[in-house]
Amino acid sequence: MNSSIVVPLLLFCSHAIRMHDGRCCGVVLRVFRSIVPEFHAVEPGKQDAAHGSPPDDFPIPEETAREIREFISTEVMKAAISSLHDPYFVESQKDLATLIASILISYTPLTPTPRNILASLPNIKETDVDQAIEYISRAGLHTRQQRAVILDLLKDLKGVSISEMGKLNKSLGIRPEPRAKKSHRSKMAQEFMTAEPAVTDTGASTDRKSPDLEGVAGMFNEGG
């Protein structure tokens, strides 16, 4: 209800969408998808038929809701589009597209800002943006269909798709690196397990085997 509190939080979250941390980005995207409908204009005491939310005992003041809608329609939209263009977030493309669709569905009836953000992108036609918004705003349309429309609209901006990433790696001859087998021994235990060559009086080393120290290494494992 208080923009002086929520705006700094939203500002931080909008920056988190661009952080190269898959888990962090995924959590923030879920947060935004849950709160975007909260700032859809609803008259106090009435149910929002479009989003199915019950009457709110603590309604958000319209001035605050308007300010936050504009922030989400600009900064959050730009951050989501930017991450969609970043190959690092290839596995988050569906979540990013879902968030973009949610913003368009919730806010385009109230403000032209999210529509104008999309229309200002290179290689994006205004007619295509309007058609996409009209389609995803249809009642009963599944979330999967909504994000598919957004991904198709922004296909020239996407850094790369998940399937394309696999094909790219294959064409370049890149293979996933095998996971190194983790050692259960400590560094000190590993040193005990490494046999040092014996040195003779003449300085020459011999291949004499060291005694079996497996039991010593086990002591370090139990102690660590």
Joined tokens for residue 176: 């996933």
Q: Rounded to an integer, what distance in angstroms lies between the CA atom of residue 79 and that of residue 74? A: 9
CA distances from 217 to 69, 132, 180, 185, 211 (A): 62, 65, 21, 7, 12
CB-based contact 1:63 (threshold 8 Å): no
Closest CA to 128 of 107, 157, 89: 157
pLDDT tens, residue order, the chain (224 aa): 777 788 888 999 999 999 999 899 999 999 999 999 888 765 444 444 444 555 555 677 888 889 899 999 999 999 999 999 898 998 899 999 999 999 999 999 999 999 999 999 888 899 999 999 999 999 889 999 999 999 999 988 766 655 554 444 444 344 545 545 555 555 545 554 555 555 555 555 555 554 444 444 444 444 44
- List pLDDT tens digits, range 35-66: 998 887 654 444 444 445 555 556 778 888 89
Q: Rounded to an integer, what distance in angstroms lies between the CA atom of residue 73 and that of residue 187? A: 53
Joined tokens for residue 1: 């209800």
